Amino acid sequence: MADQRETDHATGVETTGHSWDGIKELDNPLPRWWLWVWYGTIAFAIVYWILMPAWPGLHGYTKGLLHKSDRAEVTKELKALDIKRGEGAAQLRTASLEQIEKDPKLNAYAQQVGQSVFGDNCATCHGIGGTGGKGYPNLRDDVWLWGGKLEDIQYTITHGVRTGVEGARMSQMPAFGRDELLKPDQIDDLTEYVVHLSKRPADAAAVARAQPLFEAQCSACHGLDGKGNQQVGAPNLTDSDWLYGADRASIRGQIFAGNGGVMPTWGGRLSPETIKALAVYVHSNAGGQ
Amino acid sequence: MVRVIDNTRPRSDARTAVSAAARAKGKGEANGHLYKPRQPIYPKLVHGKWRAIKWALLIAALAVYYVTPWIRWHRPEGFPQQAALVDFTGRRFYFFDIQLWPQEVYIFTGLLVMAALALFLVTALFGRLWCGYACPQTVWTDLYIVVERLFEGDRNARMRLDAAPLSFNKIWRKTGKHLVWLAIAFGTGGAWIFYFHDAPTLIRTFWTGDAPMTAYVSCLLLTCTTYIFAGWMREQVCTYMCPWPRIQGAMLDDHSLQVTYLAYRGETRGPHKKGQSWEGRGDCIDCNQCVVACPMGIDIRDGSQLECINCGLCVDACDEMMVKVGRPTGLIAYDSEEAVCARTKGEKAVYKPIRSRTVYYALAMSVVGGLTLWSLIDRPKADLGVIRDRNPIFVRMHDGAVRDGYTLKIANRTYVQQRYDVSFEGVQGARLSQPGTVGEHVSIVVPPDQVVPVRVFVTAPKDAELEPSVPARFVIRAGDIRAEAKTVFLSGAANPQ
């Protein structure tokens, strides 16, 4: 670069001496406002170092005069949230399930809590809409294995189904085929009988053959009329709702293997207030029995 | 379209092919800077018809602004008793007997469209009357100039004071002026926030520090803008910041009344001594009174200009002089280009207030105004929204019946509690029910001025033989109040069991 700087004749401004394809760069000073903002940021930075945590050291960092700590603030906010949630939780605790469902405000709160808890914990099996799937009960309809009243739902959620924990809902359908309790042709006859129970056309001879068999083997739980028993979680065989499938193959498979699903014990994992809110949520979404 | 002189741009004769830098440098008055330095303007006080109207409008405008939030209005217990209130926290707008919800802002849209069309119409008829008489920038600037005159005297005294070296006299006059300006600015910002909160409460909480932060911030913001716009920037706001001077060219035509210097009468201008003959010369005595009175610092004799706000102060100034020299007034007057041209040629001046442009504006105004008014009068007292359950879209019951879930949002727009009977129409044999309650009849109590979400179920029997999607509707009724919302019932026929 030459000692003497070139001056652009059009503007009267010195150039930087850099040239690209003949285009030269003017050496205009920085805009004043920009410069002052820049000085301002430097001044701000110095003040910031003094007031706020800034410099790392070997053992920790400079704390700053304001002693600001994001971690402490989060802890404080979480505590405040607990207190805030505590109000709703306290109301859920003291009110009965019926009261919660009847009170519009409390119900709205329970619905909100219930919806989010359902999404986090229940939707994995029952689906986000609660309609379940094969082997996972539909919680939206009016069919209930263990009862659809508020208290029944609360009990089922709290204690679970077939978890082996004391108090859990428990029943076991025998695996009539796998355990060789019945012969294959008997199972075929029973299948026809169950199809007949749900008011569908079935082989009359097989139904007649299976009737004593059903009364002996199945009616203890499913009832003589096949309408089931919610005390033992035995499904109603006369309706159009089938947990493990409605077709003959599915029904036969169920008689053969005696499937029974497991639902976790949520008591202890979820607080009693949360379970109450969940029960109200499930109950009202199912139409409320 | 009318030709408006734009003094903010280089004159057309100066537009030759030179680089931007050279042009900037060449701008003599800009001293090589890109922007022209501001020429201080010292508008002289004038007396006359237009000035009197301006005073009256100034007082009226300020009175409306300051008094409105203090007007009380009776509403039922629990509702604001303030006539005009924009309640952001409660999401309601109150104006006397009118109450609007956020979803009714289209009424404001209607009002704004009407305001714009009114502005078009007035401008097409009488030029920029809004700018000269009603614009807050003009009103507050006028008020600030009153204060300035009080402390520093009229034009000549102010110019002398500004030119004088620093002295005690200068310091106290300037300080006093700025303090009063700041006080007015604070009053402006302070009055603004009363429109958004209960005024008697806010005036107390404002000083105790219990007012919402938005009130303090808005107050500070408006204090600053008022002080800066009316005290320091003044005509620059109109000339450089406001888009209206640029738009006006599209509104004005040869028939629009504008403040006009009647050149055919005034020229040839020149000083006139008492007793001299008026033969062979114009009426303009070149006294410069129109220029010193102008708050925009222009010479109206140059013609219609972008800066001109059509305030008519030069008309008053000129009329005063014409009376003094014994010539007819109206050398500068509200006049149309067409009329001036006609009279220049010695023909009869014709004024055409009714022309296609003004008719269109007036027509558009009445259509928009009618629609807005109609939607305000026809405002429903209740509103119903329906949200269909989407997961699951339907549920099959144990007996094969099909049930759809809906969330109804019932809005009660009255000041009293209402009980709405809900019914579902369109599906034969369908049964309406509410979760958790027994019975066919669904009736919902909605507290005054609130929206209540309600979950309902509609169950259609198995043998209903419905289309997969059946158009249906919900209806709510409470006395003579009725609202309905369309929806569909999904019967599950497309997904047989």
At B400 the pLDDT is 84
Supply the range of the domain harboring residue A99. Answer: 85-170+273-289
Indicate whether B422 pLDDT > 50.
Answer: yes
Report CB contact under 8 Å: B21, A239. no
Phi, psi of B241 (to 5 degrees): -95, -35
The region of weakest confidence among A5-19, B138-152, B400-414 is A5-19
pLDDT, one tens digit per residue, over A46-95 is 999 999 998 998 988 888 898 889 999 999 999 998 888 888 888 999 99
When divided into structural domains, chain A yields a total of: 2
Task: Judge whether residue B212 has pLDDT over 60.
Answer: yes
Quick one: A166 and A277 in the same domain? yes
Same domain flag for A103 and A245: no
The two three-digit tokens of residue B445, written as one number:
């109590």
Which of these, B62, B149, B142, B155, lies nearest to B311 by C-alpha position?
B142
Segments of chain B assigned to CATH 2.60.40.10: 382-490
> How does DSSP classify residue A29?
P
pLDDT in tens, B220-248: 999 999 999 999 999 999 988 999 888 87
Average pLDDT, chain B: 89
**B59 contacts chain A (CB < 8 A):** no
Binding residues of A for heme c: 122, 125-126, 173, 218, 221-222, 263
Is there a single domain that holds both residue A184 and residue A163?
no
Q: Which residues of A participate in the annotated binding site? A: 122, 125-126, 173, 218, 221-222, 263
Task: For residues A91 and A166, state if they share a domain.
Answer: yes
A140 secondary structure, DSSP code: S
By the CB < 8 Å criterion, does B492 face chain A?
no
Q: B19 to chain A: which residues are within 8 Å by CB?
A: 10
- Report how far residue B440's alpha carbon sits from residue B432's, in angstroms, rounded to the nearest whole number: 6
For every residue of B275-320, DSSP letters joined together read T---TTS-S-----HHHHH-TT---GGG-SBTT-----HHHHHHHH
Condensed to tens digits (0 to 9), the pLDDT of residues A118-172 reads: 999 999 999 999 999 899 999 998 899 999 999 999 999 999 999 999 999 999 9
**% chain A with pLDDT above 70:** 99
One-letter amino acid at B249 equals G
Q: What is the pLDDT of residues B308-359, one digit of tens each?
A: 999 999 999 999 999 999 899 999 999 998 999 999 888 888 899 999 999 9
3-class DSSP assignment, residue A23? strand
pLDDT of residue B179: 97
Q: Which residue of B has its CA nearest to A123?
A: B391
Residue B73 reports pLDDT greater than 90: yes
Domain membership flag for residue A16: no
CATH number at residue A208: 1.10.760.10
> Is domain B382-490 in CATH 2.60.40.10, yes or no?
yes
Of the ranges A84-88, B101-105, B362-366, the best mean pLDDT one: B362-366
Q: Same domain for A92 and A164?
A: yes
From B123, B103, B119, select the one nearest B111 (Cα to Cα).
Answer: B119
Same domain, A132 and A209: no
| Percent of chain B whose pLDDT exceeds 70 | 92
pLDDT band, residue B462 (cuts 50/70/90): confident
Q: What are phi and psi of B246, to 5 degrees?
A: -75, -30
Residue A68 lies in a domain: no
| Chain A CA closest to residue B447 | A104
The Cα–Cα gap between B200 and B192 comes to 14
Give the pLDDT confidence of B116-152 residue by residue, as tens digits. Answer: 999 999 999 999 999 999 999 999 999 999 999 999 9
Give the whole-angstrom CA distance, residue B47 versus residue B317. 7
pLDDT of residue B13: 47
Contact B391 A143 (CB under 8 A): no
The DSSP output letter for A30 is: P
Q: What is the pLDDT of residues B178-203, one digit of tens each?
A: 999 999 999 999 999 999 999 999 99
**A148 and A197 share a domain?**
no
Chain B from 335 to 364: CB within 8 A of any A CB? none
Residues in A touching B402 (Cβ below 8 Å): none
For the cut 60, the answer to whether the pLDDT of residue B22 exceeds it is no
Residue B20, pLDDT above cutoff 70 = no
Q: Which of B391, B400, B457 sits opposite A240 (nearest CB)?
A: B400
Closest residue in chain A to residue B389, using alpha carbons only:
A129
Give the model's pLDDT for residue B494. 75
Does A77 map to a domain? no
CA distance B78 to B65: 26
Is the predicted pLDDT of residue B10 greater than 70, yes or no?
Answer: no
Element (H or E) spanning B85, and its range? strand B84-87
Tell me: do A159 and A147 sit in the same domain.
Answer: yes
Binned at pLDDT 50, 70 and 90, residue B438 comes out as low
B443 touches chain A (CB under 8 A): no
- Among B22, B397, B435, the residue with its CB nearest the CB of A288 is B435
Nearest Cα residue in chain B from A282:
B435
| A93 and A164 both lie in a single domain | yes
Please provide residue A248's backbone torsions phi and psi, each rounded to the nearest 5 degrees. -60, -45
Is the domain of A106 the same as that of A237?
no
**Is residue A43 situated within a structural domain?**
no
- Per DSSP, the residues of A157-208 read HHH-BS-SSTT-B------TTTTTSS-HHHHHHHHHHHHHHTT----HHHHH
Q: What is the pLDDT of residues B473-491, one digit of tens each?
A: 999 999 999 999 999 999 8
Q: What is the pLDDT of residue B419?
A: 95
Are A104 and B445 in contact, with CB atoms under 8 Å apart?
Answer: no
Residues A185 and A132 in one domain: no
Location of structure tokens 């029944």: A152
- Judge whether residue B23 has pLDDT over 70: no
Q: Which carries the bigger pLDDT value, residue A88 or residue B296?
A: B296
| Sign of CA pseudo-dihedral A211, A212, A218, A220 | positive
- A33 belongs to a structural domain: no
Residues A165 and A280 in one domain: yes
